[in-house]
Amino acid sequence: RVGTGGVSFEGKTQCSAAFAEVDCVVQFPKPDLYGNKKVDTEFLLVALKTPAVHGKQKLESFVVQMATKNSLDLALDSAALDASCLAALTAGLGEHLTDGGAVSGPEPTVLPQVLACMGSKPIGKPSPMVFSNSSGGAHVACYRKVQEGFLYPLAEGLLFFKPPMLLKLHEIASMSTTAGGARFLELSVEMEDGTKHEFSNIDKGEVNGLQGYAQYVAKAHKTRAKVEAAAAAAEASGAGAGGDATSGVS
C-alpha cells in the first residue's frame, strides 16, 4: 500500500515506513548463481533513517521481493498528489497508467517508480560505473561471520544480502582487502563510529573490483568534504557580510 505519507508492505510480516523516515531505496537483482542471466526476480531495499520497532526487533531496513511475472495494481489519488509527482509518474509509467487513475504493470517496474515519485527519493541501482565483478556482474559471493551471502557495492553504500545490511557510503571510514588463503581474500570495512565489518571467502579474482570500489568511496568522501567546506565558507561569508551591514547602520 502506498499513501501520500508512507508505504506499507504486507506478506508473512507487515512493515511500514513514513516517507520522511526513508533514508534511501535500492533496487537490485537476485544473485545470478549460475550465470544464465535469466533471473526474473528483483529486490527493493528500503533503508530507514532511524530503526523501526517491529515486534521485538529493531529494523534498520527491510526488503521486498518483486517478480517480473507478477502484476501490481495500485489506485492513485490524483487529488492528493502534487503536479510534479503526477508529471513524473506519467513520464515514467505512461504506458502503465489506466484511464481510471490507477497504475498497473510488472512489480519491478511499477513499485520503484511509484516510491521514487511519492517519496521524492531516487531509486539506487547497481552501476558498472561504481562496481563490476570479474564477470561484469553487480555482486560478489562472500561470508559474513557464518552467514553466506552476497555483497553489492553501490553508490549508496555496501549492501550485504542476506540478511540485508546496508553500510551507508557516507558512514564508511575505510576499506581494505587482505589475503584469506590461496584462493580467497577478506574485506574489512571500518565505519566512522569505529565499528568494523569483516567479509571473507571472496574469490581472489574480485580484488581489482573491490579495490576500485574502495577508491570510489574515498573519492566520494573527498568530494563531499569539499562541498561541505564550500557551504560552510559561504555561510560564514554571508554572516560576516550581514554583521558588517548591521554595524554600519548602527
Give the burial class of 112: count Cβ atoms within 10 A of its Cβ; 0-12 exposed, 13-18 middle, 19 or more buried: buried
Quote the CA–CA distance of 245 and 109 in Å, as a whole number. Answer: 54
CB distance 186 to 180 below 8 Å: yes
For residue 77, what pLDDT is reported? 64
Over 80: is that where the pLDDT of 200 sits? yes
Whether residue 91 is predicted with pLDDT greater than 70 in this model: the reply is yes
pLDDT tens across 121-180, in order? 788 999 999 999 998 889 999 999 999 999 999 999 999 998 889 999 999 999 999 987
SS (H, E, C) the chain: CECCCEEEEECCCEEEEEHHHEEEEEEEECCCCCCCCCCCEEEEEEEEEEEEEECCEEEEEEEEEEECCCEEEEECCHHHCCHHHHHHHHHHHHHHECCCCEEEEEHHHHHHHHHHHHCCCCEECCCCCCCCCCCCCCCEEEEECCEEEEEEECCCEEEEECCCEEEEHHHEEEEEEEECCCCEEEEEEEECCCCEEEEEEEEHHHHHHHHHHHHHHHHHHHHHHHHHHHHHHHHHHHHHHHHHHHHHHC
Say which residue, 63 or 203, is predicted with more confidence. 203
Dihedral class, residue 43 (left if φ above 0, else alpha if ψ from -120 to 50, else beta): beta
More confident residue, 194 or 3: 194
Percentage of the residues of the chain whose pLDDT score is greater than 70:
81
Question: Residue 54: is its pLDDT beyond 80?
Answer: no
Burial of 203 (0-12, 13-18, 19+ CB in 10 A): middle
| Residue showing cell 533513517 | 49
b/e code 17-55 from CB counts within 10 Å (16+ = b): bebeebbbbbbbbbbeeeeeeeeeebbbbbbbeeebeee
How much of the chain, in percent, has pLDDT values that exceed 90? 35
8 Å CB contact between 22 and 123: no
* pLDDT tens for each residue of 183-198: 999 999 999 999 999 9
pLDDT, greater one: 10 or 141: 141
